[in-house]
């Protein structure tokens, strides 16, 4: 081999004059570093749906049913709607409205609480609320006390008892070793008139003492809102 050929072989061995070096000759190539991701702001949570408002109590003349459960409100309202228009007009004139509850504060009886001779609360028992027919009659009896206190009074009650006696009803209807009070004779008579259910009886066992027509005429003549 001549001198020139030996020089070329040596240059090739050293990589001299052999063109650009390959990537493998330069060592490992670093991978690109990804940029930090932009911070993600979570979307705001939607506002919770508002709780549904309970339906307002049914409008019943003269009565406030807010203390009753919705089902009981509907039952009381249905009973009052079934009464004669005169009964509803009398109740509409009662001020203030009488709150109705189902607490049974007078259990085993339902009752009307009065303050200063005015009706202030009507409490029904669970037993009376459990049967629609019983509720309709007992509620009418208690509302008989309400309209009595709101627009009849002692003179009207005495006149009514005299009317009943003139129809052959005993002046004393026995109850608990005494007589049924004039107030309860009148309240039962209003219940018979309001419901037309002459077979029903309250705890006082008062029978119908006048006809429904007579009861209607009596109320038309004597009832005046106080």
Q: Please report the DSSP string for the chain in residue order.
A: --HHHHHHHHHHHHTTTS-SPPGGGG-PPPPPPPPPPPPPPPPPPPPPPPPPPPPPPPPBTTEE-TTS-HHHHHHHHHHHHHS-HHHHHHHHT-SSPEEEE---TTTTS-EEEEETTEEEEEE--HHHHT-HHHHHHHHHHHHHHHHHHHHT-HHHHHHHHHHHHHTT--S--EETTEE--HHHHHHHHHHHHHH--TT---TT-PPP-S-HHHHHHHHHHH----
Number of domains in the chain: 1
pLDDT tens profile 27-62: 566 666 666 667 777 777 777 777 667 677 789 999
- Alpha-carbon distance of 153 to 82, in angstroms, equals 25
Task: List Cβ neighbours of 79 (8 Å cut-off, separation of 6 or more).
Answer: 132, 135, 136, 139, 140
56 burial type by CB count under 10 A (0-12 exposed, 13-18 middle, 19+ buried): exposed
Instruction: Give the model's pLDDT for residue 130.
Output: 96
> Is residue 170, in this structure, part of any structural domain at all?
yes
> Is residue 43, in this structure, part of any structural domain at all?
no
- Positions in the chain short of pLDDT 50: 5-19, 21-25
Instruction: Give the model's pLDDT for residue 203.
Output: 95
> Is residue 11, in this structure, part of any structural domain at all?
no
> Is residue 92, in this structure, part of any structural domain at all?
yes
> Is residue 132, in this structure, part of any structural domain at all?
yes
- Alpha-carbon distance of 110 to 188, in angstroms, equals 13
> Is residue 51, in this structure, part of any structural domain at all?
no
- Alpha-carbon distance of 1 to 3, in angstroms, equals 7
- Alpha-carbon distance of 191 to 84, in angstroms, equals 11
Instruction: Give the model's pLDDT for residue 202.
Output: 96
- Alpha-carbon distance of 122 to 104, in angstroms, equals 10
Instruction: Give the model's pLDDT for residue 2.
Output: 54
Domain hosting 183: range is 63-222
């Amino acid at each position: 081999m001549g001198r020139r050929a030996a020089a070329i072989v040596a240059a090739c061995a050293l990589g001299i004059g052999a063109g650009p070096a390959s990537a493998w000759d330069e060592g490992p190539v670093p991978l690109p570093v990804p940029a930090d991701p932009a911070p993600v702001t979570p979307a705001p949570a939607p506002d919770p749906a508002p709780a549904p408002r309970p339906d307002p109590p049914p409008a019943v003349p003269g009565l406030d049913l807010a203390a009753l459960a919705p089902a009981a409100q509907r039952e009381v309202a249905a009973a009052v709607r079934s009464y004669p228009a005169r009964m509803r007009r009398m109740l509409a004139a009662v001020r203030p409205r009488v709150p109705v509850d189902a607490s049974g504060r007078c259990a085993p009886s339902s009752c009307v609480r009065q303050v200063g001779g005015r009706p202030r609360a009507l409490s029904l028992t669970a037993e009376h609320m459990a049967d629609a027919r019983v509720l309709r009659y007992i509620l009418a009896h208690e509302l008989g006390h309400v309209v009595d206190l709101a627009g009849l009074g002692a003179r009207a009650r005495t006149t009514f008892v005299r009317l009943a006696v003139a129809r052959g009803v005993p002046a004393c209807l026995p109850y608990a070793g005494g007589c049924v009070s004039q107030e309860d004779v009148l309240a039962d008579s209003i219940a018979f008139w309001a419901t037309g259910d002459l077979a029903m009886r309250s705890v006082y066992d008062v029978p119908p003492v006048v006809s429904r027509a007579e009861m209607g005429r009596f109320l038309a003549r004597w009832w005046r809102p106080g």
